[in-house]
Chain A
Amino acid sequence: MDATQWLPTVLVGVALLAAPSALPAQSVTGIRNLTFGTVIPGVPTTVLQNDAARSGQFRIAGVIVRNVTISFTLPTAMNGPLGATMPITFSNTSAGFTTTFQPNTPFNPNTPYNETVWFSATITLGGRVNPSPTQRAGNYSANIIMTVIFL
């Protein structure tokens, strides 16, 4: 084998070695809130995880290839005016994982989820609110935390 055959391959390897220092640090970012919009008392409202406008969205970036464990701290109620609360639930398909080479894959946000991130990943989150017929009017909100363990 002469140098014209193996040199390009070695150069690719060297480039891969150099890549980590050129990438930004791995990061986990909240991109978009989970937005239920207007909710009618007594009428449950669901947002699907693949809803392009209303689903919550997180992003993992700054890696080449990395096994990760994704977990959520999910609320059971949203907080509203004058101490009012509204139940919120998440089903076993309320989250979705998308990474390079892999289309959206639904998963259960209620339990830790193991995946491999290639370069970056987008995690989407839907849910369901269950207002009572006498639900107090007003704005409700709740905090959602996604934790990623880079293995």
Chain B
Amino acid sequence: MNTASKLTLAMLALTLVGASAAQAQSANITATATVLTPLTLTGTANLAFGNVFPGINKTVAASDAASGRFTIAGNPGSQVSMTFTLPTNLTGAGTLAIASWTGEHNNTNTTGGTTFTPSAAPTLATLDAGTGNRFLFIGATVQPTVAQAAGAYTGTITLNVVYTGL
């Protein structure tokens, strides 16, 4: 290393040493998040077939007064995904087949609106931009056999709803 280079390094070292007194400085930022309103689901009416005659199918349409009903409440304007766990039979004094599920959903809590087929596959809906509500109406058909045992039959319909993030 020549003399000039040594001189340069020495001067640089002096510069660095001169600036090396330990000292601390701090700064702040803020972590922020906005949490949406948690979803609330309410089963508001049972799907009621009433009296059923052996050997005669009976259908309750989603638009009927006897349809099953749910209310979803959440963040206004957010999209939700709805899935159902549906029985294939009602149980009582034996089993009673149930099938041909139908559905409607809207923001007005009166029958009508968007039709859909309740199933384990997701159905998307958007909560009302003002109230954050969405109303669901469920229908189906029971298929009693000619030898269907008399008595009351019941089954559980489960709705699962999650935000999609949209």
Contacts and interface: CB of A to CB of B under 8 A. Distances in A.
Interface of A: 1, 5-6, 9-10, 12-14, 16-17, 19-20, 26-43, 45, 56-58, 63-66, 75, 78, 80, 86, 88, 125, 127, 129, 131, 133-151
Nearest to A135: B35
Interface stretch (B16-24, B85-93, B120-128): B16-24
B56 interface: no
Contacts of A140: 32-35
B29 interface: yes
Nearest to B39: A41
Nearest to A67: B20
A34 to B, nearest CB: 4
B163 A40 contact: yes
Contact of B16 (A30, A42, A65, A142): A65
Contacts of B75: 137
Contacts of B12: 13, 16
Size range of the chain B interface in the assembly: 35 or more
A45 B72 CA distance: 23
Contacts of A17: 11, 14-15
A1 B4 contact: yes
A149 B24 CA distance: 4
Nearest to B14: A17
Nearest to A25: B25
B32 A36 contact: yes
A39 B36 contact: yes
B151 interface: no
B165 interface: yes
B27 interface: yes
Nearest to B20: A151
B28 interface: yes
A40 B163 CA distance: 7
A151 B5 CA distance: 26
Contacts of B11: 13-14, 16-17
A150 B35 contact: no
Given A17-B14, A17-B15, A34-B29, A138 B35 contact: yes
Interface string B48-88: 00000000000000000000000000010000000000000
Given A10-B4, A33-B29, A66-B19, A147 B24 contact: yes
B3 A6 contact: yes
B30 A33 contact: yes
Nearest to A57: B29
Q: Which of B7, B24, B25, B163 has the most CB of A within 10 A?
A: B25
B22 A32 contact: no
Nearest to A81: B35
A13 B8 contact: yes
